[in-house]
Structure 1
Amino acid sequence: MNPDGFASDLARKPDVLTDLADALAQRNPWAHVVPGDTSRVVFLGMGSSAYAAGVAAARLRARGICAVSEIASSQLLPHWGPGTLVVATSASGGSVETLDALGRVEDSAYTVALTNTPGSAITAACEATVELLAEPEVGGVACRSYQHTLALLMALECHLTGTPTDSLVESVAAAARASDHLLRAEKDWLPEVSDLLLGRDETHLVAPAHRLSSAQQGALMFREGPRRSAIGCESGDWSHVDVYRTKNSDLRMLVFAGSAWEAQMAEWTGPRGTTVVGVGGEVPTATATLRYPGDDADDVRLLTETLIPELVAARDWQAAAAG
């Protein structure tokens, strides 16, 4: 991994997302790989792949489809019989845990590899392949591939629910425009946001349950690049399991707006003077708020908002490497 390469990968997000929108407008790649008798879906993956799949599975369940996301290292994989679609995600195509899990999937399940690396080991282990089209990530950090995983799993949702991809294509294109705006305006927002978020102790990244992957992925970027202490939290659960660090640490918080439980969170962050940065909407007790075009649409938020912690982490990582 290298910080300059990571920053370069982030700068390419608008162009590569635009290409993905164009590709999805031409066809839904799942249409020719998902068996017609599919009635249940199992997602397998590690790290960023598992974060994205967790949200995808919840979205499918909300629309009446039996779906779960299992971390590939688990020994408790579902064995649901015929009609089961297994989607194994690995950007590199070589995640050893995911490859091992595929060896433990029941024979009656139909397996599809979701990968950014054609011809990789995972494609050989599965019966079909869907490509992420995220282009090689020269920095060695899963950033575009995470974003494209979300988009492609949303395309699977469209296919399984019989929904046209028109709205998804527009969301991906809008995310490309929003990403371009954030990158072009970086000098206007990043110094203040970085100063507020990068304290001496730890940073919490908080998101509503239906976009929990944004908090998980954002926290991973802080840990993976500049090696800072950071955790991803769900907005409602934060008040039950993570609130305690507001009392005895220099806790900083990035809150992705959109949860009904932000007022409950504010009951703790306000009186304790916790530094809070709101993203994509107004957040109670926020010290600063960062908005961007399209942040009134939830799917655009999901596909865009991780760029903010990614850029903060990239610049902090570059500064540490230079110093």
Structure 2
Amino acid sequence: MKPDAFLEDLRRKPEVLERLARTLAARNPWSEVVQSGPARVVLLGMGSSAYAANIAAARMRSHGLMATSELASSRLLPGWGAGTLVVATSASGTSVETLDALSRLPAGVATVALTNTADSTITTRADSLVTLDAEAEVGGVACRSYQHTLALLLALECHLTGASTDSVVATVSAAAEASAHLLDRESDWCPDISELLLGPSGTHLAAPAHRLCSAHQGALMLREGPRRPAVGCETGDWSHVDVYLTKTTDYRLLVFAGSPWESQMAEWTEARGSTVVAVGGDVPGAGYTLRYPHDSDDDVALLTEVLVPELIAARAWLTAASEV
């Protein structure tokens, strides 16, 4: 992995997203590989792919679909059999756990590989292929491919519910604009936010349940690049699982705005003097708030907000590399 190349991958997000928007405006790729509505949907993946799939499956269930997201490494995959659509996501197409899961599925399921690498192993193990079209990530970190996984799974949601992809196209285009804004103004916010969040006891990230993947992916970026301790949490659940650390550590918290449980969180962070940074909206007790275009749109935020911890990670990684 290369920190300078990772930063360049991030800088190309708006351009590559706009290209994806044009592709989705021309056609929904799922209509070519999923001909009839499946009775059940299983989303498989690891790491970033699993984070995105968890939210996608929850959204499908909210529409009344029978859908689940499972870690490909699990020995307890659903035995739903015929009439099931399995989407196996691997940006590289070589995730060994996902390849193994494809070999353990019940007979009669329809399988689709969702990958950024069209000639990879996973394409030979699945019945059909949908490409992420995120282009090669030369930094070696799944950043654009994570973003495109979310966008393509939103398109799958449209296909399964019989909706037009017009809303997804608009969301992807708006996310490209929002990403460009954050990138263009990085020097205005990234140094200040980095100083606030990169503490001696690590960094914590919280997001509303319907965008929990942002907290998990953002934390992963801090671990994977600069190798800094970081963990993601759901904002409501924070008061049950993370609050304890505010009493004993120099607690630094990035909050992706949009949860009704932020005031409950603030009761503890304010009382204990924790450092809180808000992204995408006002959060009680935040010492710094970062806004960007269209951040009040949940779907735009879903595709955009993780760029903030990604850029923090990229800069911290470059600094660490220069000191070696």
Q: TM-score normalised by the shorter chain: which range applies?
A: over 0.9
Aligned 1:37-186 pairs, distance under 5 A: 37-186=37-186
CA distance in 2, matches of 1:168, 1:299: 9
Paired position in structure 1 for 2:29: 29
| Map 1:304-315 → 2, pairs under 5 A | 304-315=304-315
Q: 1:60 to 1:37 in 2, by over 3 A?
A: closer
Q: CA deviation at 1:81?
A: 1.9
1:273 partnered with 2:283: no
Query: How far off its partner does 1:35 sit?
Result: 3.6
Distance 2:11 2:37 in 1: 41
Deviations 1:206-252 (A, max 9, x none): 00000000000000000000111100100000000011110111110
CA contact (8 A) 2:206 2:235 kept: yes
Q: Counterpart of 2:192?
A: 192
Find the aligned partners of 2:44 and 2:81 in 1 and give their Cα distance.
16
Over 3 Å counting, the alpha-carbon distance change for 1:107 and 1:90 in structure 2 is same
**1:3 maps to which residue?**
3
Q: How does 1:221-300 map to 2 (within 5 A)?
A: 221-300=221-300
How many Å separate the matches in 2 of 1:22 and 1:193? 33
- C-alpha distance 37-256 of structure 1, shift in aligned 2 (>3 A): closer
| AA in 2 matched with 1:301 | A
Structure 2 counterpart of 1:86, one-letter code: V
- Runs (4+) of structure 1 exceeding 4 A deviation are none
Mapped partners of 1:115, 1:288: distance in 2: 37
Within 1, Cα distance between the matches of 2:203 and 2:194? 11
What is the total number of aligned residue pairs between the two structures?
323
Q: CA deviation at 1:19?
A: 0.2
Deviation at 1:278, TM superposition (A): 0.3
Could you say what secondary structure the match of 2:173 adopts? helix
Offset at residue 146 of structure 1 (A): 0.2
Distance 1:113 1:220, change over 3 A: same
In the TM superposition, residue 37 of structure 1 has moved relative to its aligned partner by 4.5
Please, what TM-score do these two structures have when normalized by structure 1? 0.99
Shifted more, 87-96 versus 34-43: the winner is: 34-43
Matched, 1:217 2:217: yes
Distance in 2 between residues matched to 1:33 and 1:263, nearest whole Å:
45
SS in 2 for 1:69: strand
- Give me the CA root mean square deviation: 0.6
Identity of aligned residues (%): 68
Q: Secondary structure at the match of 1:200?
A: coil
Partner of 2:317: 317
Q: Would the aligned equivalents of 2:37 and 2:160 in 1 still touch at CA under 8 Å?
A: no
- 133-142 or 29-38: which moved more? 29-38
CA distance in 2: counterparts of 1:60 and 1:283, whole angstroms:
28
Which consecutive unaligned segments of at least 5 residues does structure 1 have?
none
Query: What is the rounded CA distance, in whole Å, between the counterparts of 2:194 and 2:315 in structure 1?
Result: 9
How is 1:8-23 mapped onto 2 (pairs within 5 angstroms)?
A: 8-23=8-23
5+ unaligned residues in a row in structure 2: which ranges? none
Question: Distance between the aligned counterparts of 1:180 and 1:71, measured in 2?
Answer: 32
Per-residue CA deviation, residues 57-104 of structure 1 (Å, 9 max, x unaligned), is 000000000000000000000011211000000000000000000000
The amino acid across from 1:236 in the alignment is: G
3-state SS of 1:111 partner:
strand
